[in-house]
Structure 1
Amino acid sequence: MIFPNPLRRLAAALALALGASAVPAMAAPAGGDAPVRIVVGFAAGGALDIFARTLAEKLRVSLDTPVLVENRPGASARLAVENVKRAPPDGKTVLISPAPPFTVFPLTYKRLPYDPDKDLIPVAYLADVPLVASASVSQPYRTMPEYLAWVKRNQDKGGVGLVTLGGSIHFGVLSLSKSLGVPLLPTAYRGAVMMLTDEIGGTLPLGIDAVGGQMELYRAGKIRFLGVTGTRRSALLPDVPTLAEAGAPGFEAASGWYSAFVPAGTPPPVVAKMEKAMLDAVKDPAVRDKMSALGMEMHGQPGDALRKLIQAQRTQWGPVVAASGFTAND
């Protein structure tokens, strides 16, 4: 498949990041204390991997110890969660995870290889990952209200692209569908590039994905941004309204995030030390500037705030998931 130039450049940039990030953040020492392991549930080269390696360099200095990044991709990050769950509770193993394994998966999977509330301790909320609804510039609508009016007139064209079923965007689409009385159809793609190719080609009326993966196409004038998820506008796109502002409710808790966790049983002083180191790292202007280019907003909050957020988001999604009848079994 031949992609438009901005898509080829996006693929090339990701390949370059993969090559640059495929090495450990710090080599393991021949002896002495064991290094800290940061475990991520995705392959090297992606946004979360780059974020983890950036943090590892900061932690190496602040904790005065070697720090490695270990990629354990698979099962939508559940393999990484299980790996950290089984690690010794000594502060030497840290999980950096997106939201779904803690907020949505407990609602959609009948069985998980971990208990999100008992097997891991929330350490720190690190970064927001804003998601944005976009459409091709060739579409007849320029704003979200115009899209909503259009889809009401064209109810057989209610496909909404996303990169995975069973996540918060999936259930946000179902919530919006219910509020509009229009049969919107969550349409899953194997990756953002495939979704955006259909979007630019006009076969997909609307797509929702992370800001970072769409910025080049937006700047190239290939797509329009119609609204961002969450309860506040993104600092990365201050002129783009939230979806709720634009008349499309249901996505207030749909923004992504990255947070840190350690195994249950880790002593409180060790957790507190890691919490401080993580929060100091995301406050660093160099980290903030580097990650903004990948569509992240540094948003450090302590572990207690993270724990409350997880419970609040799970409570919010519970009725929506139950009403949908959706269960995950991959």
Structure 2
Amino acid sequence: MPYVERQVEKPSDPRSLEAYALAYKEHLKAKDYATQSVQYKYASLIWFIDWCHERGIECIEQITRPILQRYQRYLYYAISRSGKALSTASQRNRLTAVRTWFKFLMRENLILYNPASELELPKPEKRLPKHTLTPEEAELVLSQPDIETDAGLRDRAILEVLYSTGIRRQEVINLTKQDVNSGAGIIAVRQGKGKKDRFVPVGERALVWVEKYLDDVRPQHALPSSPDNVFLDETGKVLNLHKVSRAVKKYVKQANIDKMGSCHLFRHTMVTLMLENGADIRFIQQMLGHSQLSTTEIYTHVAIHKLKEIHTATHPAKLKEVTESHQSTQKMPATKDELLSALAAEAEEENETSA
């Protein structure tokens, strides 16, 4: 059964699993963890607690290492709300939440031993982004919103910012008017992932669209009670995350480019194209807000076109050189099979000579 997050009332029993989970949530909030991180970790614990209740496990002392290993197997076979198996990353995240929960309980002397201390997590996957756009495909997607409508012009401005800066979906929604410095050509990303601030360059074209939206559209929807965010919905409220994702996904589909993706597609695309055009990876790291260079380096595997050009230009075993050596004695091989036959004959001749 797919997991549906439920609202948990404050438990009456201070030793219940829910009470321990709530104590951990309050601990994370006190340590100033990002709101989304706290919510996800807490939701992962509720998932685990529900699983325990379904199997008659009602108190913390009943949870042993074999129980946790059983839960790990359950996650391996679990089905998400989309009807697909949980990814390895999702399994790791849920297990990590449980493991850090028990570490907290042990540190607070709420349990006598930690059954999760030796819990082995699934090996992390090193997956490349499924799709990136070519410059032509990116322009095609950008042209999809109907800029004659208020929503379409706003969406065009959002797409331009995503493509120009590579910032995350939540970060573009959180942008305020004070964060946009048109004169300097930069935007300030406040409280990004990990609650970190950073400055990111933004292109002139993206700024033109943002300014057009701020001048022509936003005043028509902003209310005295509206927040200072750059982008607002039709009712003057902050944009909904999922609504933004659905809109971008729709524009990608409308472009009919045989690729799928949403907001993060433009993040992948920006990085890949900048790397292929010679940008230093450390500058890319700063733009993306990655604390570890290794996180950014995955994109060097995506920027394969530049590598292909370098390979073609510099590798000594070029097709041109091979074929030229045969032109003086025979016609140029017309097909791949003819070329391979010619190479095989050449190799055999060299072997006979060396013998």
Give the TM bin, normalised by the shorter chain: under 0.3
Q: Which has the higher helix share?
A: 2
Compare CA radii of gyration and give the structure with the larger one: 2
TM-score (normalizing by structure 2): 0.26
- Higher RCO structure, 1 or 2 (CA under 8 Å, sep 6+): 1
